[in-house]
Amino acid sequence: MVLRIAIVDDEDIFRKRISGFLGEYLDKRKIEFSLELFGSGREVLELGTRICNFGVFFLDVSMRDVDGIAAARKIREYAADAVIVFVTAYIDYSIEGYKVNALRYVLKDNENLADSLNECMEAVMREISKRKSPIHFHFNEGEKTLSEEQIMYIESRLHKLEFHMTDTDHTTYTMYQTLNEIEQKLDVYDTFLRIHQSYLVNLKYVEMVNNYTVSLSNGEVIKAAKSRYSNVRKEFMKYIGEV
């Protein structure tokens, strides 16, 4: 399978630097790939449904016509599972980027760009690898195989677990199992965080951690345990790339 990567930046020097590094990185690991370079966000949007042909997008945040955030929102309409990485001079778009499930921010730092891209690609490859391994569950409603992205959070209620899903129908699956057991099962991913004795949330869908609460992208607000709150904030900030 070919890993198709789009590099979108209106600065020619950075397009070429990123492309050169990624090519070298993937060649060394004998990964079959293709790189396509775009000089603006508008060029990507003009692809339309062909956007879904790409598995990874490196997007410059500050482009002149269509910026990286706007381009990412459109990309999500066609490619919900694509890996998005923002390349920026300043980390000041974290929350907006998080709304489109950006995996990483990479700073345009001349001294550290290569190291940042290396760490970023390691995270990209882990993410892609995990997405190839959905997990099978035995629910009361029947057997289901779910990917990481499908689960928003899991709630323990009256000795029963409720899986709250990301689909538009707000589906909930249930099972009689402990949250500790499911937490261990989902440990193969690095996005699920225990915020309370009764809640395990997917960091992909957390928009804010504040005042002992966790706000999710669907508008729900869940209480975080006081004993866990410091760690919850730390893990959230680490996940969105601010530490």
CATH of the domain at 116: 3.40.50.2300
Last residue of a domain, one of 96, 131, 166: 131
Q: Are residues 10 and 22 in the same domain?
A: yes
Q: Are residues 99 and 7 in the same domain?
A: yes
Last residue of a domain, one of 97, 114, 131: 131
**What's the structural domain count of the chain?**
2
Q: Are residues 121 and 144 in the same domain?
A: no
Q: Are residues 18 and 118 in the same domain?
A: yes
Encode the chain (243 residues) as per-residue pLDDT tens digits: 688 999 999 999 999 999 999 999 999 999 989 999 999 999 999 988 888 788 899 999 888 889 898 999 888 887 777 899 999 887 665 556 667 878 888 888 767 888 889 999 999 998 887 665 678 899 999 999 888 878 999 999 988 999 999 876 678 899 999 999 999 999 878 889 999 999 999 998 898 999 999 999 888 999 999 999 999 999 998 887 643
User: pTM above 0.85?
Assistant: no
Q: Are residues 52 and 11 in the same domain?
A: yes
Are 8 and 59 in contact by the 8 Å Cβ rule? The answer is yes
Is 150 exposed, middle or buried (CB count within 10 Å of its CB: 0-12, 13-18, 19+)? middle
